[in-house]
Chain A
Amino acid sequence: MTTRPPVPARPRLGARLAYRLQRALRPRIGVGWLSARIEASGLARALFTGAERQTKQDLFGCRMCGQCALPVTGYVCPMGCPKEMRNGPCGGVGADGSCEVYPELRCVWVEAYDRAASQGRAADLRLLHRPIDHRRWGESSWLNYWQGRDEGLWVVESGDTEHEGPSTNSSSIDHRYRPRVLGG
């Protein structure tokens, strides 16, 4: 498990550029093939995961939960919220948008809303995020994403009660548990 406590981080990558990279790096045949090759080799996976950790830590304050929400949170990490809230802000946000627990820092969800809205993506914040799988801390979320394993992390808020259940265990996603490459 992670040893670094959650602290709100302000992304160092602009929202527009982040969404551009998202389009460039979306799962495709070639990327899927490459990520499968990386996963197949223990060393390649360790190196790749380490590079992801360093990059995302510097850019987003990533804590390697392994189930990345950034694409639908304006590229602001919700795991930096001291309550690790993945479905929006708590009720304690200061009138100036400050975090209740770290008043000198901005609430990640206030920042997420501003960034998503600035790029016409405010509707992303309506998605319902399922509970995360704590066994996946330390895994590469990029490899999980490219392999299609992250598809059940959130669902569209349909407004009725018919959408799938909250469990990632019971959905159709492949959740074969693999040992962590780098201890989180």
Chain B
Amino acid sequence: MSLRDRLASGGFAVTAEISPPRGADTGPIKATAAQLRDWVDAVNVTDNQGSNVRLASWAGSLAAMAAGLEPVMQMTCRDRNRIALQSDLLGASALGIRNVLVMTGDHPKFGDHPEAKPVFDLDSVQLLWTLRHMRDQGAVLSGRPLNPPPDCFLGAVENPFAPPAAFRAERLAKKVAAGAQFVQTQFVFDTGAFGRWMAQVRDLGLHERCYILAGVGAVRSRRALDFMRDKVPGVQVPDDVYRRLRGVPADQTAAEGARLAAETIQQLAAIDGVAGVHLLVAGNEQAVPGILDGAGVRVDRDGR
């Protein structure tokens, strides 16, 4: 069952994330995809995550498909202008990649090429709008017709916790109006704050027009915890979560992080309008079965 069908059927969807390697080999992606394929509906393949050069997301997506796992191709606006972005959508669609996740992308300053030219010809809303236009109107931005138009299931991201808090649900509304059919959120550590954002999302009726997948991470180590709290843009780790994970011996942090993730999934699944979870566990894929077992998410993966 595809991610789109899983969501349309009202099932609880689970997605995860793969960071392609820094190298000309799809082997690591295939190995990770094989590990994940019995547990998740689809896997995001990141697009030069954190502005660091990696194997291209379209190539990584093809590798995941070859390993039997449906990809969600991530597409940022950082490195390509509107010509290249439209061209990539056509290529991806022609090769069978259906799910496309659109984001503006991190600034080059944070990656391994801080001297690079930031493109940002379009922003995430404009790119969603453009891709939807290509699919539904069968034309590129210049007005020239597409034969045939691409087929795609369009996703967006949102950070419910970043200022201005009063505008974050409205911002999702813009993305939905532009074409987003599903959204994956930033890490949720504070389920109370997430619940308040979801109430605004429901007030705007967005949960009926867009599937909402809440981001869940599993903290692996004290170092990862500190990094996430202090260094990852837009992530907020509440004090009680920080204390809980620091409160266990260092060699127990990973197990406690997985327990916390499982509890978080249970809390999120109980929130009206949450269609699934997105596991932000790149590099820690072996934790996925334990987390989903702990959360009681045992979905029939159709014999995969």
Contacts and interface: CB of A to CB of B under 8 A. Distances in A.
B173 A126 contact: yes
Given A129-B126, A170-B143, A91 B164 contact: no
A100 B109 CA distance: 10
Contacts of B38: none
Nearest to B137: A165
B143 A169 contact: yes
A82 B118 contact: yes
A113 B82 CA distance: 28
B123 A84 contact: yes
Interface stretch (B8-16, B64-72, B155-163): B155-163
A166 interface: yes
Interface stretch (B87-95, B128-136, B281-289): B128-136
Contacts of A109: 164, 167
Given A92-B234, A169-B141, A131 B118 contact: no
Interface stretch (A8-16, A24-32, A59-67, A154-162): A154-162
Contacts, number: 134
A36 interface: no
A114 B163 CA distance: 11
Given A87-B126, A93-B234, A95-B163, A166 B133 contact: yes
B32 interface: no
Interface in B156-195: 157-159, 161-164, 166-167, 170-171, 173-174, 177-179, 186
Interface of B: 77-78, 82, 103-107, 109, 118, 120-126, 129-130, 132-133, 136-137, 139, 141-143, 157-159, 161-164, 166-167, 170-171, 173-174, 177-179, 186, 233-234, 236
Given A125-B167, A131-B130, A165-B133, 5 more contacts: A83-B78, A88-B170, A122-B167, A129-B125, A134-B121
Which 4 pairs across A and B sit closest by C-beta, in order of nearness?
A91-B159, A92-B233, A87-B125, A166-B129
